[in-house]
Chains A and B, each alone.
Chain A
Amino acid sequence: MPKIATREAYGEALAELGEEIKEIVVLDADLSKSTKTSIFAKKFPERFFNMGIAEQNLIGTAAGLATCGKIPFASTFAIFATGRAFEQIRNSICYPNLNVKIAATHAGITVGEDGATHQSIEDIALMRALPNMTVISPADAVETKKAVRAAALLKGPVYLRLGRHPVETVFNESYEFQPGKGLVLKEGRDVALIATGVMVAEALKAAEILAKDGIDAMVINIHTIKPIDEEVILKAAECGAIVTAEEHSIIGGLGSAVAEVLMEKKPVPMKRIGIRDVFGRSGKPEELMEAYGITAEDVAEAARSLKR
């Protein structure tokens, strides 16, 4: 399986979609080479706006464009989009329910060497708390391409969470992306591994590890964290044990969202794999995943501990 960064797939998908959907305009904050909106910029220079290093204005300008019928994709790193411009997203986009897509790259600790200041581990929590916002966290390049199209067609604000580091391709081209619908990638009886983003590939590996131990794990991909697919989570709960896995803080992200559903509808023992309320640091993505306990082995160990 080839490894492709979801940001690459985003840039390509956006440039393709630009052909078809003329209302799409793209804004970036001096990071177009990194977010890959540069591909769109090259193809449609008149519909690309570099807003410079000014994220609050980036978001506000996107809101204004949306009031006039445009479909703006506003891109920068996840930490700046959701952190620096949080209140602009809240008051100028989500509250008036404007059709702006915030496609943020460099999410999570797999940003790597740039270190903690650039590693967004709270963005899902922040975006999930906003009414009207749809939060999508694709697992690989194929899913990203389909998610970008789905986001453009959805009416209303969408947060797309994308990564810097190449990830394994999980899906083949025939995959059909349905926003809001969780996906069972592997059936299983003993434990359910619910993952999002780069952790989907890890969860699949974890299921293989568990199989060797005689544990039959179900693997679920939650690409849409909000609105979350309660049905698939309740199906997972039938296994009697759940492990969530995300490249995000364990506070407020996928694990919290799944726990909210379970607590109200069908409580079962669960463990959350994620960043445990600490900041990241510099290092290679793989080293960081190991250091912060978010590898396939960590997911498998959490599952084992639930079955003991």
Chain B
Amino acid sequence: MIKVAIAKEKLEELKHIARRVRRHIIEMTAEAGSGHPGGSLSCTDILVTLYFHVMKVDPKNPDWPDRDRFVLSKGHAAPALYAVLAEKGYFPVEELKTLRKIDSILQGHPDMKKTPGVDMTTGSLGQGLSVANGMAIAGKLDGKDYRVYALLGDGELEEGQVWEAAMAAAHYKLDNLTAFVDHNGLQIDGPITQVMSPEIIQEKFKAFGWHVIDVDGHDFEGIIQAIEEAKTTKGRPTVIVAQTVKGKGVPFMENQVDWHGKAPSREQAEEALKLLV
């Protein structure tokens, strides 16, 4: 495996952006009075790495045909995506306050027709990887070198369509596609292994013909190295199984299933923001 050199400053910068994104997630969901902070906080570092280090995108030209694509298959992590897009400059940070409100460009789940920078409408679990496949196939057909990234929840892997898509991505040798699994171990009703175990996730993807990489989903350097490995893996798609902590960064939310789909109160938000400095 090739190791790419990453400047210390870059890693520091990503860390700072991730902290701002986490603060946005807390503020947005508190202001909205609903939303999914737990799974937004768990995938924040992956999204920040993608948008601020890896992906070829242009916030001034969100529909640029040659851009890299990102599909947030676990659409309920929309607050994380919106915060990252705002930080990247797709729309003003002030818009984040309007999350889930009437007439907002920021719907409860991602809507490509309303939000600049959102490449696909998602929210109903299990559908995003198929769409990413379609984007990857289109790229190959057109001889374009853009890459397609998709992020799935670990609970989401219980959806049958994910495995239809996994089969197809390997069948069509979509090496321009990289999927992430945000492996935080929790879903609404409890630990994934108790509700309906999708384990062993790595073995399943391997059996479907994918290249599998394990990574700590909060280690920027590890995430970057994994993506670089995916880029150089030819003839098959890569899945990066990222071990993450649900609610990461806010100690009272960490690994607590209750924070899957509950917004913090004003007081809880203040408390969380104090911890995110």
Chain A-chain B contacts (Cβ-Cβ < 8 Å), number: 107
The answer on a CB contact under 8 Å between A47 and B112 is: no
Of the candidate stretches A31-39, A89-97, A193-201, A215-223, the one touching chain B is: A89-97
CB-defined contacts of A47 to chain B, threshold 8 Å: 141
Contact residues on B (Cβ < 8 Å of other chain), bracket = 35 or more
User: CB of B123 within 8 A of chain A?
Assistant: yes
The 26 sampled A-B contact pairs (Cβ below 8 Å) are A52-B168, A54-B164, A54-B167, A56-B126, A56-B161, A56-B164, A60-B129, A60-B133, A61-B133, A61-B165, A64-B131, A64-B132, A64-B133, A65-B134, A67-B112, A67-B119, A67-B131, A68-B65, A68-B134, A68-B135, A68-B138, A68-B142, A92-B121, A92-B127, A95-B111, A96-B120
Q: State the main secondary structure of chain B at its contact with A.
A: helix
User: CB of B124 within 8 A of chain A?
Assistant: yes
Known contacts A51-B168, A54-B167: does B141 contact A25 (CB below 8 Å)? yes
For residue B230, give the distance in angstroms from its CB to the closest CB of chain A.
Answer: 18
For residue B239, give the distance in angstroms from its CB to the closest CB of chain A.
Answer: 16
Question: Roughly how many angstroms separate A59 CA and B127 CA in the complex, as a whole number?
Answer: 9
User: CB of A87 within 8 A of chain B?
Assistant: yes
Contact with B along A218-250 (1 / 0, CB 8 A): 000000000000000000000000000000000
User: CB of A66 within 8 A of chain B?
Assistant: yes
Known contacts A61-B130, A64-B130: does B121 contact A49 (CB below 8 Å)? no
The answer on a CB contact under 8 Å between B124 and A57 is: no
* Identity of the chain A residue whose Cβ is nearest the Cβ of B118 in the assembled complex: A96
CB-defined contacts of A51 to chain B, threshold 8 Å: 164, 168
CB-defined contacts of B136 to chain A, threshold 8 Å: 64
Chain A interfacial residues counted at CB < 8 A? 29
User: CB of B151 within 8 A of chain A?
Assistant: no
Contact with B along A87-124 (1 / 0, CB 8 A): 11001100111000000000000000000000000000
The answer on a CB contact under 8 Å between A60 and B165 is: yes
CB-defined contacts of B171 to chain A, threshold 8 Å: 52
User: CB of A46 within 8 A of chain B?
Assistant: yes
CB-defined contacts of B123 to chain A, threshold 8 Å: 91
Residue of B131, B133, B142, B161 most packed against chain A (CB within 10 A): B131
Question: Roughly how many angstroms separate A274 CA and B65 CA in the complex, as a whole number?
Answer: 47
Known contacts A57-B165, A67-B119: does B134 contact A96 (CB below 8 Å)? no
User: CB of A69 within 8 A of chain B?
Assistant: yes
* Identity of the chain B residue whose Cβ is nearest the Cβ of A92 in the assembled complex: B127
Which of A52, A61, A69 sits near B131, CB closer than 8 Å? A61
